[in-house]
Structure 1
Amino acid sequence: MHFSLHDNKNPYRVYTYYSHPRPLENCKDGAKKCDYHFGVFDHIIPNISQTAARREEELRRRARTPEAVQGRKHMSIQTDVYIETLRDIPENTDITCQTDDIMDIPAQLVKPPKKMGQDVATRIMLGELFDFEEEVQPVLEILIGRTIEQSLLEVMEEEELVFVWAQFRAFQALRNSELAEVQRLREHERRHREEKQRRFIQLREAIMKEQETAEKIAARAFTREMLANLFPAIFTSLRRDGFFYDQTQQEIEKFFLPWLVTKINNNVDTRFIARRVMDDVIYRMVQDKFEAQ
């Protein structure tokens, strides 16, 4: 075993103090030495165990899982049995700490220390440190200056507001006049558009009427040309078939003669009935007379 400081890009060949040597299938270069940066390594130890060989042979012979059908795929599922603890309320632990109330108070001295040094006293007379008449002048100057400045600013603000309001009123007047002009132009445009549409409709109707008139004239001329030679033959055929007749004769034959025949029949029937009744009366009288004899 030895150490190497060379870099190796294949981490499968390297093992540390706490790992076992890699078998032959984990090393891609056969019995070549595996070196890695700051790693402990050795020659590759081939795995010649019969148990491992039999296991590999069994894995090769074992039937593999068939491929998934089209549109599906295989997924790994956990099927091991394990215990899972379900808790509705988590376990909590309370810890408290209490300190004494007077722990931060320093301990009192049993005996006060002795005074050291000499006592010195002085006296300040009235007006030596502060003179109100002199000290108040700068304050008054500042107050008066600020007051005058604020007053000037307020006056300038009022003048500016007056100017702004005048400008705003002028702008409003100009805006109102422009809005009125825009409204008038829109109304004019609307009337112009409506008039254009109305005239377009009228023109289209006039064109349609002209087309209809031309079509009617053409149809009439064509019909006249077509029927010019058919009229004599048609009238002759209709007259022969009885469609052309005398109206008076037709009325006499259809209305007067049937009515006259009906009246005559009614009159004849009345006379016939009267004759029958008379014959019955005469017959009964003769029979009664004959029976009486």
Structure 2
Amino acid sequence: MAAVIPQQPETGTYTFESKPKAIEGRRKYRFQFDETEHPSPYGNIMYDRRIVRGNTYAQNTLPVTTQPDPIEIQRQQEIRRRAIAKKRAKDQLRPRSPDAVEGRKHIEIQTELYLEELSDRIEEADVETQTDAFLDRPPSPHFVPAKTGKDVATQIEEGDLFDFNIEVKPILEVLIGKTLEQSLLEVLEEEELSNLRQQQHQFEEIRNAELVEMQRLQEQERRRKEEKDRRMKQQRDILKKEKETADKIAARAFAQSYLADLVPSVFSTLRNNGYFFDPVERDVEQSYIPHLMDEVATRINKTILGRVMLDYVLRDVIHHRSQNHNQGQSS
């Protein structure tokens, strides 16, 4: 005969639900409010208005007298008046741009080192995320009440103790179930790893594309800066050339006005000094007249020389005759 063990009927799991409320602290005062009559309005001191948070050094203290001090009021008004005057003087001394000429107007531009693109369109980007795969919640175990009673032994006949075909079935089901569950977990893990690798590959592609875009934007910004510098240099050169041209035109006009009466006087002076001459007259003056004067001087010199020689001859003759006359008288 087989022993009969009494079993209790299976029931559902025991659950308990209660309305949450704050934990009551230790009693601080000699009397305690009854929560049924006066419920506690606060359960956390962080939200209790009666608790002071922060330091108490900078708290406002009430003055001794309720009426303000007139000297203090006058001092504050004087400080406020000085601040307003200083601000007004600073605004007057601040350099301002001159008024725009007719047909133009002033506009505000960015002068910072890094320019900010102003756009009405808000940049948007889609972001996706993948949550982890959660396993199904296992079923709640059946409630097994505490063991009661007393175990007794009994004699079992041969053949009634263990039937392999019947007893191995649940064990085999458990083994197969665990194997299938482990296989499914491994497949899910491989799929998750494959998805992670794919996401990583996509992320690397997006990051490389962003790096390329960033490099392109940097190169574009560099080209824009170089173009801006080149245009500014060209504009400075143009302004410099325009200034030099204006200075040259002004100098030419001043020189023309200054030298208007100088050309006639210079020509008259050069003409008087002989720089402008008649070629025939100049040839006569430089070639014919000097030769004529040389010939005349030569003839005059010859005439003078002949007269001088004649005077010498006459003097010698007169001297010899006077000597002969004197000798004749003495003899």
Give the shorter-chain TM-score range. Answer: 0.3 to 0.5
Of structures 1 and 2, the larger Rg is shown by: 1
TM-score normalised per structure 1: 0.33
**Of the two structures, which has the highest relative contact order with CA contacts closer than 8 Å and spacing of 6 or more?**
2
